[in-house]
């Protein structure tokens, strides 16, 4: 099973699905309004929060659904979730492909820097 990306994209996808349903469009029809056209499966992935949406694609989706872009954007509280230190550590491990000792050293340095600036790490 594919994992969710960020909560923002899940909420965005739900809005797209809602408006597509209100317009009585299929996923395939919505995909065809994009340039280049997108597959039904790609639209399904967007609606399920499994695929990120590029800004120019968001513009095209809004135009195809005949809505303003801001109508598709989720409210801030729905879209934003504070990352925990564990979230940051997992993302660093995934993106930087670091061994555990290197990762701990990097996280420790970031915490020290944040503490020195008065930020909360």
- Residue-number span of the structural domain to which 111 is assigned: 85-116
pTM of the model: 0.62
**33, part of any domain:** yes
Residue 104's pLDDT is what?
Answer: 80
Same domain, 36 and 75: yes
Same domain, 45 and 66: yes
**2, part of any domain:** no
Residue 82's pLDDT is what?
Answer: 67
How many Å apart are CA 104 and CA 12, to the nearest integer? 34
Question: Environment class of residue 31 by beta-carbon count within 10 Å: exposed (0-12), middle (13-18) or buried (19+)?
Answer: buried
Residue 32's pLDDT is what?
Answer: 97
Q: Which residues of the chain have pLDDT under 70?
A: 1-5, 77-83, 117-121
**121, part of any domain:** no
Residue 95's pLDDT is what?
Answer: 73
Residue 1's pLDDT is what?
Answer: 46
Same domain, 12 and 66: yes
């Amino acid at each position: 099973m594919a994992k969710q990306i960020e909560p923002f994209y899940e909420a965005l996808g739900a809005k797209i699905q809602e408006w597509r349903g209100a317009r009585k469009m299929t996923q395939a029809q919505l995909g065809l309004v994009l340039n280049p056209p997108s597959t039904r499966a790609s639209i399904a992935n967007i609606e399920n929060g499994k695929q990120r949406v590029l800004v120019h694609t968001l513009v095209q989706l809004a135009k195809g659904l005949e809505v303003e872009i801001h109508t598709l954007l989720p409210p801030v509280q729905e879209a934003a979730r504070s990352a925990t230190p564990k979230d940051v550590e997992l993302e660093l491990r995934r993106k930087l492909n670091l061994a555990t000792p290197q990762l701990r050293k990097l996280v420790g340095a970031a915490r020290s820097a944040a503490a020195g600036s008065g930020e909360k790490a």
